[in-house]
């Protein structure tokens, strides 16, 4: 640095010094993160974007030629854009396994039966290393409502094939699931169009 430098030169100089330092930190962090393993992700919270985040990862994985399995535990509708699109992909297996929300069925016994049937299908995927990514959409509710045995679910998740990635979505993820996960995102609800009277829109909500 010399006194003859203009204010602009000085700014550029300090920017470069700062960026060099930042790059060194980032490179060191990248070098430290050198483990390869299947990741368990939990996308929870009250805001919009949990399932769509999971489906975004489905697109990524398929783009890499990976094999993907999706289980939808609560939803019973098979007319969503995501189902139409992803089910047509040869490397993607998509199961709609729910029979509606608890307040629709209003029947705890049948909810438990549906949950157990669905869990059997998920378990097959979680025991099969040919699936590179498994999305368990809205599984959280089956744990928070006690429809499935928590220990069975957590054990199956932790004993899955080493390189298999799993995404669990849904509100109110139980503490034990958050603990087991490698990545947990809590999506905050700041505003939602539905609350100002706008109905679910194709391409956005379904």
Alpha-carbon gap, residue 138 to 174, rounded angstroms: 12
Smallest distance, ligand ATP to C-beta of residue 154, A: 22
Closest CA to 132 of 181, 69, 41: 69
Judged by CB under 6 A, the residue of 49, 91, 121, 123 near ligand ATP is 49
Query: Is residue 48 within the footprint of ligand ATP (CB under 6 A)?
Result: yes
Alpha-carbon gap, residue 178 to 169, rounded angstroms: 11
Smallest distance, Mg ion to C-beta of residue 50, A: 5
Name the percent of the chain in helix, strand, coil, to the closest 5: 45, 15, 40
Alpha-carbon gap, residue 154 to 168, rounded angstroms: 12
Query: Is residue 72 within the footprint of Mg ion (CB under 5 A)?
Result: no
Alpha-carbon gap, residue 96 to 80, rounded angstroms: 10
Judged by CB under 6 A, the residue of 9, 10, 24, 52 near ligand ATP is 52
Query: Is residue 161 within the footprint of ligand ATP (CB under 6 A)?
Result: no
Closest CA to 142 of 133, 134, 150: 150
- Find which of Mg ion, ligand ATP, none residue 188 binds, CB within 5 to 8 Å per kind: none
Size of the site for ligand ATP (CB under 6 A): 14
44 within 8 A of 169, measured Cβ to Cβ: yes
Query: Is residue 77 within the footprint of ligand ATP (CB under 6 A)?
Result: no
Judged by CB under 5 A, the residue of 42, 43, 44, 51 near Mg ion is 51
- Find which of ligand ATP, Mg ion, none residue 192 binds, CB within 5 to 8 Å per kind: ligand ATP
As a whole number of Å, the end-to-end CA separation of the chain is 58
Query: Is residue 46 within the footprint of ligand ATP (CB under 6 A)?
Result: yes
Which residues in the 167-196 window bind ligand ATP by CB under 6 A? 169, 189, 192, 194-195
Alpha-carbon gap, residue 166 to 168, rounded angstroms: 7
Size of the site for Mg ion (CB under 5 A): 2
Q: Could you list the residues that contact ligand ATP (CB under 6 A)? A: 46-52, 169, 189, 192, 194-195, 200, 205
């Amino acid at each position: 640095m010399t006194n003859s430098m203009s204010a602009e030169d000085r700014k550029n100089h300090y920017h470069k010094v700062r960026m060099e330092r930042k790059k060194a930190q980032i490179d060191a962090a990248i070098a430290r993160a050198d483990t390869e393993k299947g990741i368990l992700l939990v996308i929870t919270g009250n805001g919009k974007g949990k399932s769509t985040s999971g489906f975004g990862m489905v697109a990524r994985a398929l783009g890499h030629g990976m094999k993907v399995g999706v289980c939808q535990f609560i939803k019973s509708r098979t007319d969503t854009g995501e189902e139409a699109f992803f089910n047509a992909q040869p490397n993607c297996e998509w199961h709609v396994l729910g029979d509606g929300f608890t307040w629709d069925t209003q029947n705890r016994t049948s909810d438990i039966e549906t949950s157990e049937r669905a869990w059997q299908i998920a378990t097959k995927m979680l025991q099969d290393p040919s699936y590179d990514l498994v999305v368990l959409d809205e599984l959280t509710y089956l744990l928070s409502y006690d429809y499935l045995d928590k220990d069975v679910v957590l054990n199956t998740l932790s004993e899955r094939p080493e390189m298999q990635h799993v995404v669990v979505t849904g509100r109110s993820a139980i503490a034990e699931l958050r603990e087991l996960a490698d990545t947990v995102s809590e999506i905050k609800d700041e505003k939602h169009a539905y609350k100002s009277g706008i109905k679910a829109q194709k391409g956005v909500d379904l």
